Amino acid sequence: MGAAAVMAAALAFSAQAQDAARGAALAEARNCAQCHGPRGVSDTPIIPSLAGQQAEFTTLQLILFREGIRRVPAMVEPMRGMSDQQIEDLAAWFASLPSERRADRGPANPALMARGAEISAGRNCNACHLPTYAGRANIPRINHQREDFLEHTLAEYRDGARVGTDTNMNGLMNGLTDGDIRALAHFLAHQE
């Protein structure tokens, strides 16, 4: 299945509405909290927090995992046999949780914040992710996210190791150094 077909399937209206309560039960049955935290706030290095994440974005990512288009070994078993409805319910559950900054985030580094702000402005990150970096529809929330996850993900986009439904992020990360990506991740992780 091509990426465009996956996106169309992910964003199509389902016969039954998303149900966050069914998603909560599914998250418990699939033990999502083991990696993503009991309320969707990850304490696990390089594992994203999902609390408050855009439901359309989460739906799309879960379908990419299920179909083997986005390859993350830890997601193979949890996605096995998951229906479209279950995916939408799970996405609704995570979207319903309050997004919150990590308690152990640490203080902002002024030099990294300044460089990250410069890169974000130059790459127009807020055009898609919105000025608050809360995302919208199939564009992810990146505020309140784990800094190590952001750094890892941005490097994957730059290096062509991360796939999605388009190549916008790959192009935007092109030419950034590891130091630039570290600064951008630090800046984004410290957005409220």
pTM for the structure as a whole: 0.89
Strand spans (E) along the chain:
none
Per-residue pLDDT of the chain (192 residues; tens, 9 = 90+): 555 554 445 445 445 789 999 999 999 999 999 999 999 999 999 999 999 999 999 999 999 999 999 989 999 999 999 999 999 999 999 999 999 887 778 899 999 999 999 999 999 999 999 999 999 999 999 999 999 999 999 999 999 998 777 789 999 999 999 999 999 999 999 998
Number of folded domains that form the chain: 2
Half-sphere exposure of 101 (CA within 13 A, CB side): 15
pLDDT value of residue 15 = 53
Here the tokens at position 180 are 């630039």
Q: Do residues 133 and 65 both lie within one domain? A: no
Residue 105: inside a domain = no
Range of the domain at 35: 3-96
Residue 17 and residue 81 in one domain: yes
CB 172 within 8 A of CB 14: no
- CATH number, residue 148: 1.10.760.10
Task: Clarify whether residues 91 and 157 are in a common domain.
Answer: no
